[in-house]
Structure 1
Amino acid sequence: MRTLKLGYKASSEQFGPTELLEYGALAEQHGFDSVFLSDHLQPWRHDGGHAPAVLPLLGALGACTERIVLGTSVLTPTFRYHPAVIAQAFATLGSLYPGRVVLGLGSGEAMNEAPLGIEWPSGKERLARLREAVELIRAVWRDERVTFEGEYYRTANATIYDRPEKEIPIWLASSGPAATRFAGRAGDGWITTSGKDPALYTDTLLPAIHTGAESAGRSPDDLEKMIEVKVSFDSDLETATLATRFWAALGLSAEQKAGIDDPVELQRLADELPLEQAARRFIVSTDPDEHVERIRAYVDLGFDHLVFHSPGPDQDRFFELYGREILPRLREEF
């Protein structure tokens, strides 16, 4: 198993660009190995929400840090962006910050695409678009004058002129079996998120990542396995619990949020949830031992890159408390 890596989720849905750059730099100073930024056109909440563009943010964050790995968790290269444009953007980032850039991709959310007049397709089509996008991105990174005739995307003699010396890894995000098999088959890494039914990981996702990798003739150990771990830690339990309220939309069931792509409506539905339901996706505790034990469960499943998402408005306090109470123990034990 790889050496365990500890990352920081810089939440673009909650913080503006200046704050995100500050927190990314602080993450490096506190010894984190990576910073991942989300790519949203619209946030989960209208009031107090943010959605700065991820591509300029990554460039700026690279310029104000020195060693930390930078990536997207996740970007959708199938509607708002042509895949070849994403290939060009990340080739540029990789040239600027060699060996420090990861392209994390997913099949998308309606909240980011429907506001642009895009008719939101089925999951089957979204996955097909993602497969084709990955193929095209790799083709224009690899070859010159690429003419691509896909079902969804086309290029005619496309060339990327500024290529990075080091290969940019593509990590694929998933939460269901078909997309996870694709991640195992085609990804350099795999991204998923915490706080769901444990059986989803043990009975569905991990078997699917193994099946996908083996179908491509490689070992599942070849993939870096990243999980966004949602944590709320404070010396006061009420403070830790209340901090999750901003992210209450994550506590909505699939049925509750089906067909909703407006942050105003998502906010209304989220605000109707009991606080206990809003907090259920997070490890909420004042006890460092409990945090370590519950995080250990993901390491035991084989995840080797933990990216921590803290929901509170005071991220400086997260760096202080988690950096003092939790991260040293994780590094020592794993």
Structure 2
Amino acid sequence: MVRIGYTLMTEQSGPRELVRHAPLAERAGFDFAVMSDHYSPWLEAQGHSPHAWSVLGAVAQVTERVELMTYVTAPILRYHPAVVAQQAATVGLLSDGRFTLGLGAGENLNEHVVGRGWPPVRVRHEMLEEAVWIIRELFGGGIVHHDGRHYRVDAGRLWDLPEQRVPIGIAVSGPRSVRRFAPLADVMISTDADESLCRGWDRAGGADRKVAQLPVSWDRDRDAAIRRAHEQFRWFAGGWRVNADLPGPAGFAAATQFVRPEDVAASIPCGPDAGPIVSAFAEFRDCGYTDVALVQIGGDETQDGFFEFAERELLPALRTTVG
């Protein structure tokens, strides 16, 4: 059965709202919750970007059952990998072992703020691979010395570790990243309904669990749902090759200025009906994903209605039709 998740989208909600949404998602019946980790929103219309790790600590205290995951943290520039390891171990403890550390090579949107420039993708993948090795070593509980190509660790040690090692997920977007990271990860992470990614991951010896993300725009008024999706989520159509390099919300606004509402509606389920969401969800299942996290587009004003819809109609339909 494919597990159904909910996305705590830091770009579209403030920290108090995200902490309120998490237990509502749990009560509605979602199996897990993922959280984005950004310094900036994709578009100014989204309007938020709180510190994900602070919010995760609070979310761990107001939920009891749902698994938590970063989707995703980039341990390459904005955070040193030794700091990411400490953050992940702490959330693992606070959540009683419900946390998975999702990692990725990041986006210029978030990483440029520390003033170290934005490396090409080849270098970013080198940095991510080295960072993963550092994090894994620190999760082992010993003293870590590392003098590598991109990072140094001087007698690093995590003094507070959960009994069970925090699983590591790694975001991939193509065959090169799949081959590189499948041997290092406990979970595959992606946003694409791409069967070749899942098959390539399996051929490379990757773990069974594969997590994807599906944006939806639920609203009783379909036209309102389309307008909101276009206003806040038209950046999603750019793909990660474009999205990784644009430097800020103004760049995403310029890059998507010719994307029409009907273009967004053709790629994102919009409106009051469960059917289009079930069909889109089934595409991920058919590709080989084991978990899919839904993103309800819109801030605090849309979430309560979405949770009611999910509990009453959407989750039963997904579990009956897709599970």
One-letter amino acid of the structure 1 residue matched with residue 199 of structure 2: P
One-letter amino acid of the structure 2 residue matched with residue 156 of structure 1: D
Counterpart mapping for 1:104-115 below 5 A: 104-115=102-113
Q: Name the structure 2 match of 1:244.
A: 229
Q: Name the structure 1 match of 2:138.
A: 140
One-letter amino acid of the structure 1 residue matched with residue 159 of structure 2: Y
Counterpart mapping for 1:171-210 below 5 A: 171-194=169-192, 201-202=194-195, 204-210=196-202
One-letter amino acid of the structure 1 residue matched with residue 229 of structure 2: T
Q: Name the structure 1 match of 2:2.
A: 4
Counterpart mapping for 1:70-219 below 5 A: 70-194=68-192, 201-202=194-195, 204-213=196-205
Larger relative contact order (Cα-Cα within 8 Å, sequence gap ≥ 6): 2
Q: Does 1:315 align with 2:303?
A: yes
State the Cα deviation string for residues 174-203 of structure 1 (Å, max 9, x = none): 112211223322110011114xxx6xx13x
Q: Contact 2:221–2:272 (CA<8 Å) still a contact in 1?
A: yes
CA, structure 1 residues 189+34, in 2 after alignment: closer, same or farther (shift >3 Å)?
A: same
* Secondary structure of residue in 2 paired with 1:193: coil
Mean Cα deviation higher: 34-43 or 311-320: 311-320
Q: Does 1:301 align with 2:301?
A: no
Q: Name the structure 2 match of 1:216.
A: none
Take 1:48 and 1:294, find their aligned partners in 2: how far apart are those partners? Answer: 24
State the Cα deviation string for residues 222-242 of structure 1 (Å, max 9, x = none): 331111011223343212212
CA, structure 1 residues 257+37, in 2 after alignment: closer, same or farther (shift >3 Å)?
A: closer
Take 1:253 and 1:134, find their aligned partners in 2: how far apart are those partners? Answer: 24
Give the structure-2-normalised TM-score. 0.92
Residue ranges of structure 2 left out of the alignment (5+ in a row): none
Take 1:66 and 1:28, find their aligned partners in 2: how far apart are those partners? Answer: 8
Take 1:250 and 1:89, find their aligned partners in 2: how far apart are those partners? Answer: 28
Mean Cα deviation higher: 163-172 or 324-333: 324-333
* Secondary structure of residue in 2 paired with 1:261: coil
CA, structure 1 residues 255+6, in 2 after alignment: closer, same or farther (shift >3 Å)?
A: closer
Take 1:126 and 1:256, find their aligned partners in 2: how far apart are those partners? Answer: 15
Q: Could you tell me how far 1:258 is from its partner in structure 2?
A: 7.8
Residue ranges of structure 1 left out of the alignment (5+ in a row): 214-219
Which of 239, 247, 252 lines up with 1:261 in the alignment?
Answer: 247
One-letter amino acid of the structure 2 residue matched with residue 165 of structure 1: E
One-letter amino acid of the structure 1 residue matched with residue 305 of structure 2: R
Give the structure-1-normalised TM-score. 0.89
CA, structure 1 residues 10+84, in 2 after alignment: closer, same or farther (shift >3 Å)?
A: same
